[in-house]
Amino acid sequence: MSDDRTIEADVGVVGAGPGGMAAATKLAAAGLRVVVLDEGQRAGGQIYRQLPNGTNGHGLMAEPPSHDQGHELIKSFEKQTERNVELIHGATVWDAQPGRLWFEHEGASRLLRCRHMVLAPGAYDRCIPFPGWTLPGVMTAGALQVMIRGFGVVPGKRALVVGSGPLLLPTVTSLLGAGVEVVAALEASSRWQALRALPAVALHAARRREAFWYLKQLSRARVKLQWGWTVFACEGDGRVQRAIIGKVDRSGRPRRGTERTIECDVVGAGFGLVPSIEIGLRLGVASQFAATRGGHYLVVDAEQRTAVATVFAVGEICGIGGAEVASAEGELAAASILREEGGAAIDPAVVARARSERRAADSMLRAFAPLPGLHELARPDTIVCRCEDITKLAAGQAAALHGESMRAIKVGCRAGMGPCQARICGPSLQAMATDNTACTMDLPVVQVPLKPVSSETILTAPE
């Protein structure tokens, strides 16, 4: 491969998480040249995030059983990087056309040309604004995990974990592993709503083992999961010092009068994940909406192929599902590409594994559908778009004046026009601005650059 600004590969992969690694490893083992672009510092993606090379992080994390598979996957992937895979880390993909991926790397503007593409850029946290959520010390559950597992940084001394869905558990164990006291873990869904996940967990050996492992860690640290509770507000002088927590009803609506105050210096809020579909949309890939899959996700056929020839998609961008789904779909996408390249027919076991992992994840996540009543946590003066400092009231006024579509609200008050490109406010902006109780949202309008990069990068992009 040339070290020019433009590089060539048989297959370009976006994302070195389980989906991207599984695809790249299989493709490279079959002799194809693969370039993997990832904005992180090392392979692993979100779930198997590793400390940067040469970091003296404490690495105190106790890991669940499934991470053994992750270590194996990373090992196989890294072995291929000595042969047919080039991993370019610190590479941010900011534009795409079929066969071409533009990315920024070490301040330089670069282009990857490839015959096939596998998109595996994962997901990001769903934020639900509440009074005080912009105070220092309040962050998403994902950000807490990145701090601890990606940088070895201990975020505080006393943490409150709130939100909904399976990711609350690894957030609690990451904090415990870093020596942080977890003062409470609040799941907004009721115990009865969550019980709907039980058959999917009980029938899936790996998920069952995983659930037991997490519950054992929580019980050892005497952290009780409180069902039907969430954070109502965070307060403090310059940073979070206390949280007001309370009960919510089955739709997530706060039950006023149940409030209690908890002293804490860190709050991790994780209300689920949203698929990162921007690159797919830019390429013209079709999408669908399902609240239980995290919102809009990319549509693929039974072999992970999108409607755009040569573009495949795997993992969280095809709907939130977890690492097992991502790696199974990554392998399937690789098998599809290899067959197109004249290789063997796809092993039916590979198709079956991807389909059964996806089915199991879908039925588990149905129990943690987004709760529309949580949008009532924000008060009129609560900031909903933190890039542009737009309050719930201002977003509501824009919707009343200009219309209830995402575009009308954006144009009316600039919400969603800042550097996060609506990743933070977008998933709940329409529900908050219009006081409707649905968790739907318009398909995001995709703008280039897909992620913030310097204007120099855009102006000097190779053709």
Ligand X SMILES: Cc1cc2nc3c(=O)[nH]c(=O)nc-3n(C[C@H](O)[C@H](O)[C@H](O)COP(=O)(O)OP(=O)(O)OC[C@H]3O[C@@H](n4cnc5c(N)ncnc54)[C@H](O)[C@@H]3O)c2cc1C
Q: What is the contact surface with ligand X in residues (CB under 6 A)?
A: 14-20, 37-40, 45-47, 91-93, 120-125, 142, 145-146, 167, 170, 273, 276, 315-316, 322-323, 326, 450-451
Q: What are phi and psi of 112, to 5 degrees?
A: -110, 120
**Nearer to ligand X among residue 245 and residue 277 (C-beta):** 277
Identify any residues that bridge with 286 across adjacent strands, giving them in sequence order: none
**Nearer to ligand X among residue 122 and residue 131 (C-beta):** 122
202 in Cβ contact with 381 (< 8 Å): no
Which of the 8 DSSP states describes residue 147? I
Question: What tokens does 216 get?
Answer: 């054992």
In angstroms, give the least distance from the CB of 231 to ligand X.
19
**Nearer to ligand X among residue 87 and residue 413 (C-beta):** 87
Q: What is the per-residue DSSP string for 114-129?
A: EEEEEE---EEEPP--
**Nearer to ligand X among residue 318 and residue 432 (C-beta):** 318
Question: What tokens does 241 get?
Answer: 């010092």
Q: What are phi and psi of 117, to 5 degrees?
A: -135, 140
252 in Cβ contact with 188 (< 8 Å): yes
In angstroms, give the least distance from the CB of 313 to ligand X.
10
**Nearer to ligand X among residue 120 and residue 234 (C-beta):** 120
In angstroms, give the least distance from the CB of 254 to ligand X.
26
**Nearer to ligand X among residue 19 and residue 372 (C-beta):** 19
250 in Cβ contact with 193 (< 8 Å): yes
Q: Measured between alpha carbons, how far is 337 from 334 in angstroms, rounded to an integer?
A: 5
> What would you report as the CA-atom Rg of the chain, rounded to the nearest whole angstrom?
22
160 in Cβ contact with 246 (< 8 Å): no
**Nearer to ligand X among residue 13 and residue 399 (C-beta):** 13
Which of the 8 DSSP states describes residue 31? T
Q: How many residues does the chain have?
A: 463
Q: Pick the closest to residue 32 from 64, 8, 60, 55 (CA basis).
A: 8
**Nearer to ligand X among residue 252 and residue 315 (C-beta):** 315
Q: Return the residue matching tokens 């934020």.
A: 127
In angstroms, give the least distance from the CB of 97 to ligand X.
15
In angstroms, give the least distance from the CB of 92 to ligand X.
5
In angstroms, give the least distance from the CB of 70 to ligand X.
9
Return the beta strands (E) in 136-224 as ranges. 138-140, 158-163, 181-187
Question: Could you give the angle at the alpha carbon of 256 between the alpha carbons of 253 and 260, nearest 5°?
Answer: 110
**Nearer to ligand X among residue 365 and residue 409 (C-beta):** 365
In angstroms, give the least distance from the CB of 94 to ligand X.
7
- Helix orientation angle between 323-340 and 67-80, rounded to the nearest 10 degrees: 30
In angstroms, give the least distance from the CB of 42 to ligand X.
9
If one counts every other C-beta atom within 10 angstroms of the C-beta of residue 99, the result is 16
**Nearer to ligand X among residue 320 and residue 433 (C-beta):** 320
In angstroms, give the least distance from the CB of 142 to ligand X.
3
In angstroms, give the least distance from the CB of 121 to ligand X.
3
